[in-house]
Amino acid sequence: MRLRNPLRPWVFLARRPGRALPTAFVIASVTLLLVVVITPGNTFRSTLDANLAALDVFTVVSPARRAGFEPALRDLLDRNRFAERWVPVKALWVRYPAIIGEGSCPLLLARPEEARAVLDRLGMKLVAGRHASGPEPVLVLHEDVARARGIGIGSRVGTLVDPDDIIPGSFEVVGLVRGPARVAVGIVGAGVLASMLHGRLPTYALIYPRPGLKEKSDAYLHAARDGTAPAFQIIDAAYARTRAERALKNLPLLVRFLSIATACIVSLVVMLLTLLSFQSRLPQFAILLAIGQRRGRLLRSVTLELSMLAVGSWLLGASVALAGLAVYDVVALQPRGILIHVWDPGAIAASATIPVFVILAGLAVLWRGMAHVDPVSIIQQRLP
């Protein structure tokens, strides 16, 4: 005979798995549901981050009160000690369909070598086609944006091909890039269209900050004065983010409500299941109390047992949800250029309310039950 404490919490689960199964199933399936419902919500923030990633690396400014970068403004830019250099560019947005409405990522038009430098600075890799060069207006696009718009190499974008577009003229897509920032770079070229584009596109300066000094450089640009007024209008990641976040402000409200409502309902169901399973085990607890077992010891064992069951089922449900989301991401979302983070700590944390509620609800039932059980009356009913 091996002498081991029978009150080890997994003894019941291991020997009577059928009794624990309904509870495990409810917890796992609702966890799965919750994670699968909440996670895709991060597409808004993920897409926003990818769209603004370029603006976290460098700053784009335009003259606040003048038509172009006149010598006084150039002088202000040259004297920015926190910047490596600055480059004149034309800047626009590329719009593309997101999961709801449209997203837009920056399009920077510059000389061919500067267009490349932008991509290098952002850590983008060319995955198809070539870099922008030559006499025609061409551009290189993030592959996800191309997918979302349903275009590829050889496609053309611009008002000449699609009146709804905000890019004037007509640009041919010559290359696709991959990397953390959703961005497009291109060249205006030297053809007939070029002068029209030069005339119609507003002028910006792209400022490369020195490593680690972007904040100081931005502060300098914000403070720069043209007379008494600010010299530059700054296309600011912080500004764009604040605006977008204001638009997404109410999303957590929904997520939190969903997860708390689900957790409450599941806890009720599990509370009922715990109640049933406890009632069927009541005679057993009664006997143990009657032969002098301490209530604290029994409760500790049952608490651990319930915790193991709840946490185990939650882990299972969450893993299945992550696997399902990963597959769905590859099969359905990525081909449409829709960005989600499959691993979403927020969703996992929200789903963790389920085991916590379940343990608390189960414990309430157990504590109540054990406080009111009368061992002798159960013994007298001769229930085994």
Partner 1 sequence: MSEPIVQARDLWLEYGGARSVRALRGLTLAVEAGTFVGIMGPSGSGKSSLLYALAGLRRPTRGSVAFQGAAWPERIAHGSDRRRSSLGFVFQEPFLVAHWTVGENIAVQQTKPNAARIQALAASLGIERLLDEVPDRLSAGERQRASIARALVNDPMLVLADEPTSCLDTDSGRNAMSVLAAARRKAALVVCSHDARMLSGADIRYRLEDGTLSRDD
Candidate list 251, 282, 290, 320; residue touching partner 1; CB under 8 A: 290
Minimum distance of partner 1 from residue 290's CB (angstroms): 6
Query: Applying CB under 8 A, does 125 fall inside the site for partner 1?
Result: no
Candidate list 20, 27, 237, 289; residue touching partner 1; CB under 8 A: 289
Query: Applying CB under 8 A, does 293 fall inside the site for partner 1?
Result: yes
Query: Applying CB under 8 A, does 375 fall inside the site for partner 1?
Result: yes
Query: Applying CB under 8 A, does 127 fall inside the site for partner 1?
Result: no
- Which residue, 12 or 44, is less far from partner 1 as judged by CB? 12
Minimum distance of partner 1 from residue 308's CB (angstroms): 16
- Which residue, 250 or 377, is less far from partner 1 as judged by CB? 377
Query: Applying CB under 8 A, does 291 fall inside the site for partner 1?
Result: yes
Output the DSSP codes for 235-297: E-HHHHHHHHHHHHTTHHHHHHHHHHHHHHHHHHHHHHHHHHHHHHHHHHHHHHHHTT--HHH
Contact between residue 27 and residue 307 where contact means Cβ atoms under 8 Å apart: no
Candidate list 15, 85, 225, 368; residue touching partner 1; CB under 8 A: 15
Query: Applying CB under 8 A, does 368 fall inside the site for partner 1?
Result: no
Is 195 exposed, middle or buried, given 0-12, 13-18 or 19+ CB atoms closer than 10 A? exposed
Candidate list 213, 272, 320, 373; residue touching partner 1; CB under 8 A: 373
- Residues 111 and 186: their CA atoms lie apart, in Å, by 8
- Which residue, 246 or 372, is less far from partner 1 as judged by CB? 372
Candidate list 11, 265, 272, 363; residue touching partner 1; CB under 8 A: 11
- Which residue, 243 or 368, is less far from partner 1 as judged by CB? 368
- Residues 83 and 212: their CA atoms lie apart, in Å, by 10
Query: Applying CB under 8 A, does 384 fall inside the site for partner 1?
Result: yes
Q: Which of residues 194-223 bind partner 1 (CB under 8 A)?
A: none
Burial 175-192 (b: 16+ CB within 10 A, else e): bbbebebbbbbbbbbeee
Query: Applying CB under 8 A, does 284 fall inside the site for partner 1?
Result: yes
Candidates 181-189, 204-212, 329-337, 367-375 — which segment interacts with partner 1 by CB under 8 A? 367-375
- Residues 120 and 97: their CA atoms lie apart, in Å, by 26
Contact between residue 289 and residue 375 where contact means Cβ atoms under 8 Å apart: yes
**Residues facing residue 213 across a β-bridge:** none
Residues in the chain: 384
Residue type, position 190, single letter: A
- Residues 3 and 13: their CA atoms lie apart, in Å, by 19
Residue among 84, 346, 348, 329 at smallest CA distance from 217: 84
8: left (phi over 0), alpha (psi -120 to 50) or beta: beta
Candidates 11-19, 96-104, 267-275, 312-320 — which segment interacts with partner 1 by CB under 8 A? 11-19
- Which residue, 247 or 376, is less far from partner 1 as judged by CB? 376
Minimum distance of partner 1 from residue 261's CB (angstroms): 36
Query: Applying CB under 8 A, does 16 fall inside the site for partner 1?
Result: yes
- Residues 150 and 96: their CA atoms lie apart, in Å, by 9
Query: Applying CB under 8 A, does 170 fall inside the site for partner 1?
Result: no
Q: Which of residues 294-333 bind partner 1 (CB under 8 A)?
A: 294-296, 298
Residue among 281, 285, 307 at smallest CA distance from 294: 285
Find all residues with CB under 8 Å of 376, minimum gap 6, and list them. Answer: 290
Candidate list 196, 287, 315, 356; residue touching partner 1; CB under 8 A: 287
**What residues line the site for partner 1 (CB under 8 A)?**
1-7, 11-12, 15-16, 283-284, 287-296, 298, 370-371, 373-376, 379, 382, 384
